Structure 1
Amino acid sequence: MKKILLVLFSFLLLITSGCGQNTDTPEENSAAAYVVTDDKGRQVKIAGKPVRIVSATYGTDEILAEIVTLDRVKAFSKWAGDPEITFITKEQADRVGNKVGENTEAIVALKPDLVFVSTATPDSLVKNLEDMEIPVYVAGSPKTIEAMRKKVFGVAAAAGEKSKGEALVSTMDNKLAELESKLKVIPKDKEKVVMAFSFIGAIGRKDNLLDDIFQYAHVRNGAAEAGLDQGSSALSKERIIAIDPDVFLLPTWNFDSNNDVQKYAQQVAADPAFKNIKAIKNNRLEFVSDRYRYVASQHVTDSIEAVAKAVYPELFAKGE
Structure 2
Amino acid sequence: MRIQTWFMSVVCVTALAAFVACGADTPASSVVPAAANVAAPASRPAAPVSTPALQQTEYTQALPSQPLPAMVAIPAAPAPQKQITAPSPQPTARAVRTAAPRPAAPAAPVFPVTVKDGNGDDVVFDSPPERIVAFDSAVVEILFAIGEGDRVVGTHEFVTSPPEANDVPRVGGAFNMDVEATVALEPDLVFLFFDRFKEDLERAGLRVLFIATLSDDFNKVADRIRLWGEIVGNPVSAEAVASDFEERVKTITTTMADYTAGPSVFQDEGALWTPGQGTLIQQVFDVLKLENIAFDVVGYEQISPELIVERDPGVIIASYGDSISGDPVFKDLLAVRNRSVYVPTSDALSIAGPRFVQGIEELARWVYPGLFP
User: Shorter-normalised TM-score: what interval?
Assistant: 0.7 to 0.9
Q: What is the rounded CA distance, in whole Å, between the counterparts of 2:351 and 2:109 in structure 1?
A: 32
Match of 1:19 in 2: none
Distance between the aligned counterparts of 1:51 and 1:223, measured in 2? 44
Deviation, structure 1 residue 48: 1.2
Residue 279, structure 1, aligned to residue 335, structure 2: yes
Deviation at 1:246, TM superposition (A): 0.9
| CA distance in structure 2 between the aligned counterparts of 1:165 and 1:71, rounded to whole angstroms | 15
Match of 1:155 among 228, 231, 246: 228
Task: Tell me by how many angstroms 1:39 deviates.
Answer: 3.3
> CA distance change for structure 1 residues 290 and 197 in 2, over 3 Å: closer, same or farther?
farther
- Partner of residue 162 from structure 2, selected from 79, 88, 96: 88
Tell me whether 1:165 sits opposite 2:238 in the alignment: yes
Question: Which of structures 1 and 2 has the bigger CA Rg?
Answer: 2
2:246 and 2:254 map into 1 onto residues whose CA distance is 12
Is the 2:241–2:354 contact (alpha carbons within 8 Å) kept by the matching residues of 1?
A: yes
Aligned counterparts of 1:275 and 1:33: Cα–Cα separation in 2: 60
Kept after mapping to 1: 8 A contact 2:135/2:192: yes
Among residues 355, 367, 371, which one is paired with 1:299 in the alignment?
355
Q: Structure 2: where are the runs of 5+ without partners?
A: 1-105
2:183 maps to amino acid: V
Task: Deviation per CA, 1:84-140: give whole Å up to 9, x if none.
Answer: xxx321x3433xx42222122211212111111112x41xx2123223443211132
Maintained 8 Å contact 2:265/2:290: yes
CA-CA distance at 1:36 after TM superposition: 1.5
d(CA) in 2 for partners of 1:36 and 1:129?
A: 19
Identify which of 297, 306, 318 aligns with 1:250: 318
Task: Tell me the number of residue pairs that the alignment of Structure 1 and Structure 2 aligns.
Answer: 263
Give 1:188 shift.
0.8
Normalised by the size of structure 2, how large is the TM-score? 0.63
Q: How big is the shift at 1:287?
A: 0.3
Alpha-carbon contact 1:214-1:307 (below 8 Å) kept: no
Tell whether the 8 Å contact from 2:272 to 2:304 is kept in structure 1 after alignment.
Answer: no
- Aligned counterpart in structure 1 of residue 275 of structure 2, from 204, 212, 224: 204
C-alpha contact (below 8 Å) 1:46/1:114 kept by paired residues: no
Q: How well do the aligned residues superpose, as a CA RMSD in angstroms?
A: 2.6
Q: Does the alignment pair 1:179 with 2:179?
A: no
- After superposition, residues 31-110 of structure 1 pair within 5 angstroms as 32-80=111-159, 82=160, 87-89=161-163, 91-94=164-167, 97-101=168-172, 102-110=177-185
Identity across matched positions, percent = 24
Q: Does 1:217 align with 2:288?
A: yes
SS of the counterpart of 2:190?
strand
How far residue 251 of structure 1 moved from its aligned partner, in angstroms, is: 2.9
Name the structure 1 match of 2:100.
none
Structure-1 separation of matches of 2:109 and 2:226: 18
2:198 aligned with 1:126: yes
Alignment of 1:107-118 (within 5 A): 107-118=182-193
Give 5+ residue unaligned stretches, structure 1.
1-24, 253-260
CA distance in structure 2 between the aligned counterparts of 1:182 and 1:240, rounded to whole angstroms: 30
CA gap 1:173/1:154 in 2 versus in 1, 3 angstroms: same
Corresponding residue number in structure 2 for 1:236: 304
